[in-house]
Amino acid sequence: MLTSFFGKSIPLNYLILGVFIVVGYLLGTTSESSVVISSYFLLVHSAFILLSVLTMLLLDFIIRKNHLTKTNTFAILFFTCFMVMLPVIFLQHKILLANAFLILALRRIMSLRSDKNSSKKILDASIWITVASLFHFWSLLFFVPLWIAIIQKPNSTYKQMLIPLTGFLAVFLINTAFHLLINDSFTWFYNWRETISFNFSKYNSASILVPVTVIIAFYIWTGIYRVLRLHSVSIKEKSNYLLLLYVSITCLFVALLTPEKTGAEILFILAPVSIIAANYIEDLDTERYIEKDNTEFWFKETMLWLVVVLPFVFLFL
């Protein structure tokens, strides 16, 4: 059963999920009618397949390092299945890159609960966020949860609040120097800010609308449950508990402000939603049912099977 299988953390789980991402990527890429196989094509897509798998593994590392879930692979199961539900994600390489850098920033943001090497963590996070913005401008919104994390951390100082500006300026100046050397121009930032569009016409396709609806429904359902449980969270865990909610809201805005709505922008919310959904599955262990063992087991089992089966169903939409 899925609950017992992914309720553990074993190498086979990672192998299965890695293969699932590879298959989803290949299906998404071959869905383009104008695919021309070449050595360059194979090299680029091999690199992005590797990036997609590494992003999943990085998310798992963040979860383990910061104890965001119990010892299981529910979160990366949700993350992988949500990605494969929307193969269009794999066609948007800039979004894949921006999301990978934001998850690197998330690693540093979530670890600020520990006061060790705080300045270095803040600088790293600000650099990764700014690098992500080179591929997707509105990734800069991630500075908001970064500053919230700085305020929440132990022994916070006003100097640490200024460190993100240093990271931002460092990447900005390096990129400006790069464009000056390569393009003999330093005006790249005039085109940096992307226009905001709320044209959702591409969502008229069932292959986009239905998976997005499922993912957003998971987000709303588990998010509300998380808010309602806030009073029962220990004081020690409350800061990270709230921080993940702030991150999820920020990711939602990053997705909404994407200039071209193709469905791929949903990738930005998958990491926090997957963690929140995994917490929801875990919390069912403490809930009371009339027939606790049987009802709890089948509810969790049905939810996980739904998430696993839906990517295959959506292939025919």
Query: DSSP of 181-239, one letter per residue?
Result: HHHS---GGGGTSPPP----GGGGSHHHHHHHHHHHHHHHHHHHHHHHTGGGS-HHHHH
Which structural domain, as residue segments, surrounds residue 227? 2-314
Q: Does residue 85 contact residue 208 with C-beta atoms inside 8 Å?
A: no
Q: Where residue 226 falls among pLDDT bands split at 50, 70, 90?
A: confident
Q: Where residue 284 falls among pLDDT bands split at 50, 70, 90?
A: low
* Predicted model pTM: 0.92
| Cα-based distances in Å from 292 to 8, 277, 287, 297 | 21, 20, 8, 8
AA identity, residue 101: F
Q: What is the mean pLDDT of the chain?
A: 88
Residue 285 is predicted with a pLDDT of: 54
Q: Pick the residue with more confidence: 108 or 193?
A: 108
How many domains are there within the chain? Answer: 1
Residue 302: CB partners within 8 Å, gap ≥ 6? Answer: none
Residue 287 is predicted with a pLDDT of: 47
Q: Where residue 99 falls among pLDDT bands split at 50, 70, 90?
A: very high
Out of 18-22, 202-206, 245-249, pick the least confident.
202-206
Q: Where residue 4 falls among pLDDT bands split at 50, 70, 90?
A: confident
Residue 302 is predicted with a pLDDT of: 85
Residue 186 is predicted with a pLDDT of: 76
Mean pLDDT of 222-250: 87
Q: Where residue 19 falls among pLDDT bands split at 50, 70, 90?
A: very high
User: How much of the chain exceeds pLDDT 70, in percent?
Assistant: 93
